[in-house]
Amino acid sequence: MKRVLPLFVMVDACGWEIVRHDPFCQGLAPHRSRLDSVFGYSSSCVPSILSGRWPDEHHNWCYFVHDPERSPFKSLRWLQWLPKSITSRRIFRRLITRLAKKRLGFKGYFDLYNIPFQHIHRFDFTEKRSPLQPGGMNRGANIFDELVQRKLPYFVSDPGASEEANRDQLARELAEGTIEFAFMYWAGLDGLLHRVGNTSPEVPAKLREYECWIQSLMDAAAQHYDEVHLYVFSDHGMANCTEHVDLMSQIQPLNLEFGEDYAAVYDSTMARFWFFNEPAREKITALLERRVPQGRILPEAELKSMRTPIADGYFGELIFLLHEGVLLVPSHMGERPITAMHGYHPDAPQSYAALFTNQARLPEEVTAIPHIHRLMMHEVNQKQAARTADKPRIPALQSA
């Protein structure tokens, strides 16, 4: 039996519009297609890819939710008394994030971002486990649960290590021939795009770098594997931000008290609200509809059609989404503008993801990022079938 290595490489934010006219992976993975993304940020996209389910099924969506009863951050409330010149600095936030993550035992991605310490005791964080590990989903299983169950040795990126370190670790394991499945996750392009935008000459230079890295991994695999089934894909794209909206300052004059009348999480491209009385709901709804033309309130039917987990209001009772290219500044994600952002409507031009492969025959139903899980499961099933076929058959004992 031929020894085949399925190699899945996720390049964060490598959207269809970014690579549509670029020769990215043309020689390594010449078959390319556009994929629909899911509504939300990487916090919903990555779990969707790894589980094959949509956010309303796996319940990994946005990071912060209003849940004061289960908030793990009550001990951080005292930080509100420090000068804002200190608590708003990114280096300070990163230090507190590292300390809090260790103390709370969070295993997934975690960042306090710009959540105000005055209200931090009102919020919970939804990704306490890592979707990149077995048992890491909020609901249901992921591809790593399958690999463990079938006892297939695999490689998965360590989010705490650099791109180069993960690349080198995979190369070592490929050279040893010890794994049967590989999932590489590179996030560097996402950070670069946030900083320089999607038209910078630094973007194609980064893509060329990734091509060299993938080629080196293919070369390392050639020592022990007869064939590599390569899949390179993204979770979403990236839109340049050309307009900023300060939504917080527009809501403050409504004479509503945060935590008593309403609560909100101001993400980079959307605001999510919880209401504790009807006047608060009416005032905020009226303001959003009449005075903020840069976005719109998403109707319940539309949210359901995008498979958003809104049934119980856990992630928010009202979702206000900005138009592509508009950024909330300040927000609970940051106080300063950035050049580009994602997390807009899945139908927005820059939201689409991309898939590249050296496999000529792809199922027609692979049209959205949760369907990448089908490709992974196909490869796992093929591995299982090959392993079964390769087992020596023991002749049955014959009776005397």
Residue 397 has pLDDT above 50, yes or no: no
Q: In whole angstroms, what is the distance from residue 101 CA to residue 124 CA?
A: 13
Q: What is the pLDDT of residue 364?
A: 82
Q: In whole angstroms, what is the distance from residue 23 CA to residue 5 CA?
A: 24
Strand 326-328 and strand 243-245: the pairing is: parallel
Strand 181-186 and strand 4-11: the pairing is: parallel
Per-residue model confidence as pLDDT tens digits over 9-61: 999 999 999 999 999 999 999 999 999 999 999 999 999 999 999 999 999 99
Buried b (16+ CB within 10 A) or exposed e, 82-117: eeeeebbeeeebeeeeeebbeeeebbbbbebbbbbb
Residue 389 has pLDDT above 90, yes or no: no
Mean per-residue pLDDT, 113-141 = 96
Yes or no: say if 255 and 377 are a contact pair by the CB < 8 Å rule.
Answer: no
Is the domain covering 4-56+130-238+348-388 a CATH 3.30.70.2740 domain?
Answer: no
Sequence length of the chain is 400
Per-residue model confidence as pLDDT tens digits over 276-296: 999 999 999 999 999 999 999
Q: What is the pLDDT of residue 53?
A: 98
> Collapsing DSSP states into helix, strand and coil, what is residue 269?
coil
Q: What is the pLDDT of residue 365?
A: 87
Mean per-residue pLDDT, 294-299 = 98
Provide the 10 A C-beta neighbour count for residue 273: 23
Buried b (16+ CB within 10 A) or exposed e, 303-331: beebbbbbeeebbbbbbbbbbbbbbbbbb
Yes or no: say if 129 and 135 are a contact pair by the CB < 8 Å rule.
Answer: yes
Q: What is the pLDDT of residue 400?
A: 31
Locate all alpha helices (DSSP H) within the chain, ordered by sequence. Answer: 16-19, 42-51, 55-58, 84-87, 90-104, 143-149, 163-176, 188-196, 202-221, 247-251, 278-291, 300-305, 372-390
Q: In whole angstroms, what is the distance from residue 351 CA to residue 365 CA?
A: 19
Residues 6+ apart with CB under 8 A from 345: 39, 321, 324, 351
Would residue 313 be called left, alpha or beta, if left means φ above 0 and alpha means ψ between -120 and 50 degrees? Answer: left
% of the chain exceeding 70 in pLDDT = 97
* Domain boundaries, given as residue ranges, for the chain: 4-56+130-238+348-388, 64-125, 242-337
* CATH class of the structural domain 242-337: alpha beta
Angle 294-299-303 from CA coordinates, rounded to 5°:
100
Q: In whole angstroms, what is the distance from residue 317 CA to residue 300 CA?
A: 10
Per-residue model confidence as pLDDT tens digits over 347-385: 999 999 999 999 998 888 899 999 999 999 999 999 888
Q: In whole angstroms, what is the distance from residue 344 CA to residue 351 CA?
A: 7
Residue 396 has pLDDT above 60, yes or no: no
Q: In whole angstroms, what is the distance from residue 241 CA to residue 193 CA?
A: 11
